């Protein structure tokens, strides 16, 4: 019984003529793909020797997101390679060619060795019904831009790194998962983009002409949607940078003494993949981040930070190249402190407060989560409004409660509403306590003084309380 191709999608399908492509090039290319976390199909790795490969190759191409033919001098002498490129075109795949020791024009117009190979196929009457289809496929693919390696004896590492980085962006591997139920993001998104120097023109993100480095603190109450909005923003603009990283739950990770893990993740992200463990101590990590990326234009998100000490071992703005951006999600607008730069590049700090949803947006989000539509049964409308009021229009809570109630009967809805109303006072107290702990010592004293100024109580009393 023959082996079956695993029921999964490959991210990249590699097509090449083995005898032409030096082992060192193929090994280097495959290592770069693997280091970047890209799952690639190579026929000599994926198919058992002695089996018929035609059907499996066709299936692998169909299951791949991007196809990369490596055109070499004698590529056209292989009917198998020609079948593969024809299948790529027929399957309407995204195709990124590499030209290895051969000029693109030779492939596109079937000159030189390609002309000779086709003449040989025709002389031996090989695949007469396929010749024109193969030629058309070569012409179409070779008309696309791709790296050309004239020197096949070495010196291709940096170019391959750039190529693999392009593959990652096309595969959208750096994008963050965002809920399908996005509601009301247009209220904040244009202003957040403006504060980072970007704008949208007919759904195309463009960058304003500017210099310096920029940091944006996205702040607001817990559960108000800071992380979700920042993920949407990150997905819109991250492809415009040389390196990008989104580190979630930074405060929790640092409290659990996982600074080194965060540093390794940051380095790996900004390099576009690589070794899973690079540094072994926080000091080593800080030095390496500064050294590796001091000339790089990067975007970094540090999610859920509430103290500058949590930011310092990971990403100070002055460590990175001009026009870099750092985005923070936080409960404090003043969490970041601008440091002086030795290269005289100006750093800019902005903040953006995320407020709770208005009632209409909150109701729309709740209906999507609870019913899968924006027009629920009439007998649930009043309870829906009472529920979003009880959870104060906070998107995170709306999503959880809405999904829980999806498909539940009316009795469970009423019980849930009663429970939410009963927990409201306790929830407000927890939120106030969390915000109070973020204040400095003097601010805490002022807060307690103000809190203790009860109606008709002598104003000297709070001093003694």
Annotated catalytic residues are 84
What whole-number distance in Å separates Cα of residue 315 and Cα of residue 347? 14
Instruction: Count the alpha carbons within 13 Å of 309 in the hemisphere toward its beta carbon.
Output: 2
Neighbours of 19 (CB within 10 A): 10
DSSP conformation class of 212: S
With beta carbons less than 8 A apart as the criterion, state whether 215 and 346 touch.
no
Residue with tokens 């795949």: 93
What's the token pair of residue 148? 């050309």
Which residues lie closer than 8 Å to 318 by C-beta, 6 or more apart? 213, 339, 340, 341, 342, 343, 345, 347
With beta carbons less than 8 A apart as the criterion, state whether 44 and 18 touch.
yes
> Using alpha carbons only, how large is the chain's radius of gyration in Å?
29
DSSP conformation class of 356: P
Residue with tokens 């066709």: 58
Secondary structure (DSSP) of 109-146: TT-HHHHHHHHHHHHTT-STTTHHHHHHHHHHHHTS--
């Amino acid at each position: 019984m023959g082996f079956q191709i695993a029921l999964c999608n490959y991210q990249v399908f590699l097509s090449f003529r083995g005898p032409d492509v030096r082992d060192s090039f193929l090994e280097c290319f495959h290592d770069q793909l693997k280091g970047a976390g890209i799952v690639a199909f190579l026929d000599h790795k994926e198919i058992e020797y002695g089996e018929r490969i035609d059907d499996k190759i066709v299936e692998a191409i169909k299951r791949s997101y991007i196809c990369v033919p490596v055109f070499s001098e004698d590529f056209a002498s292989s009917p198998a390679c020609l079948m593969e490129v024809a299948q790529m075109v027929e399957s309407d795949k995204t195709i990124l060619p590499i030209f290895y020791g051969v000029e693109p024009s030779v492939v596109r117009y079937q000159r030189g060795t390609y002309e000779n190979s086709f003449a040989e196929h025709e002389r031996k009457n090989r695949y007469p019904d396929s010749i024109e289809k193969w030629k058309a496929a070569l012409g179409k693919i070779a008309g696309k831009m791709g790296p050309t390696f004239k020197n096949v004896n070495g010196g291709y590492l940096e170019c391959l790194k750039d190529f693999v980085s392009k593959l990652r962006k096309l595969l959208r591997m750096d994008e963050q998962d965002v809920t399908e139920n996005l509601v009301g993001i247009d209220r904040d998104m244009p202003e957040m983009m403006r504060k980072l120097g970007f704008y949208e023109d007919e759904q195309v993100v463009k960058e304003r002409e500017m210099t310096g480095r920029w940091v944006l603190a996205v702040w607001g109450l817990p559960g108000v949607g800071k992380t979700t909005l920042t993920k949407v923003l990150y997905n819109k603009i991250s492809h415009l940078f040389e390196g990008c990283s989104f580190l979630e739950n930074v405060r929790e990770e640092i409290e659990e003494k996982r600074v080194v893990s965060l540093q390794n993740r940051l380095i790996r992200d900004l390099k576009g993949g690589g070794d899973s463990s690079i540094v072994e101590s926080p000091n080593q990590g800080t030095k390496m981040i500064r050294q590796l990326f001091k000339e790089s234009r990067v975007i970094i998100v540090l999610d859920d930070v509430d103290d500058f000490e949590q930011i310092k071992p990971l990403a100070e703005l002055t460590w990175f190249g001009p026009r870099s951006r750092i985005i923070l999600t936080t409960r404090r607008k003043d969490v970041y402190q601008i440091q002086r730069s030795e290269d005289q590049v100006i750093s800019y700090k902005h903040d953006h407060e995320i407020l709770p949803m208005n009632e209409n947006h909150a109701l729309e989000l709740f209906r999507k989560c609870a019913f899968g539509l924006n027009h629920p049964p009439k007998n649930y409308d009043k309870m829906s409004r009472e529920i979003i009021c009880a959870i104060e229009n906070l998107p995170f809570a709306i999503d959880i409660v809405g999904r829980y109630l999806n498909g539940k009967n009316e009795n469970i809805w009423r019980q849930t509403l009663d429970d939410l109303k009963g927990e409201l006072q306790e929830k407000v107290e927890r939120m106030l306590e969390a915000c109070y702990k973020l204040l400095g010592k003097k601010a805490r004293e002022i807060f307690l003084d103000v809190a203790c100024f009860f109606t008709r109580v002598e104003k000297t009393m709070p001093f003694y309380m």
